[in-house]
Structure 1
Amino acid sequence: MIKIDDKLVEHLLKLSRLTFDDKDRLKNDLQKIINYFEILSEVNTEGLEPMYTPIEEPCILREKEPVEFENIDGIIENFPEKDNRLIKVPGIYG
């Protein structure tokens, strides 16, 4: 059984460059996650094929044909700021 201790929590926080005010809560949450995975590791999976997706039916895609959107004016009307058929959005500042 893996035990999450203060030293491991400090190491993980240092590696992730995160700060956390309630380290005891973090330690308890991490321990719960580890305990859950230990329970899962006890499940007998011998003879089972791995699943790559929970959906077994194939994904049927539509043909790649361009479709013109018909309600452009409806979208433009929903924006609070516009200039004719142009919409104004907030700028991105770096």
Structure 2
Amino acid sequence: MSIKIDDKLIDHLSKLSRLTVSDTEKLKKDLQKIIDYFEILSEVNTENIEPMYTPIEEPFEPRIANPTTNENINEIIENFPEKVDRLIKVPGIYG
């Protein structure tokens, strides 16, 4: 099944995405290349192939947390852009 990218589809996608497209011809051409590529991929015989959830075959080994302390706390506090005593001053969250 060959899907054709046309002006109607571009208009529909623009409305759905709420984007303004300045060069619709280039977008149509690019989207058509993507669709054509996926059509080529759909021709690959995947029968009797087990689904692959990750390309990494080694088991996951999380890194061990190794917390450290910094002895130069006062130097760090001096680098705060804004501070109140020893605390970082950040903008409030409104909403």
TM range (shorter): 0.7 to 0.9
**In the aligned structure 2, how far is the partner of 1:77 from the partner of 1:28?**
55
The equivalent residue for 1:30 is 31
In angstroms, what is the RMSD of aligned CA positions?
2.7
Please report how far the alpha carbon of residue 79 of structure 1 lies from its aligned counterpart in structure 2 after TM superposition.
2.7
TM-score of the superposition, structure 2-length normalised? 0.72
* Superposition misfits of 4+ residues, deviation over 6 angstroms: none
TM-score of the superposition, structure 1-length normalised? 0.72
Give the paired residue count. Answer: 92
Please report how far the alpha carbon of residue 27 of structure 1 lies from its aligned counterpart in structure 2 after TM superposition.
1.2
Unpaired runs of 5+ in structure 1? none
- Residue identity over aligned pairs, in percent, reads 71
Please report how far the alpha carbon of residue 88 of structure 1 lies from its aligned counterpart in structure 2 after TM superposition.
2.3
Deviations 1:44-87 (A, max 9, x none): 22221101112222222367x8x765238265444322233211
The equivalent residue for 1:10 is 11
The equivalent residue for 2:52 is 51
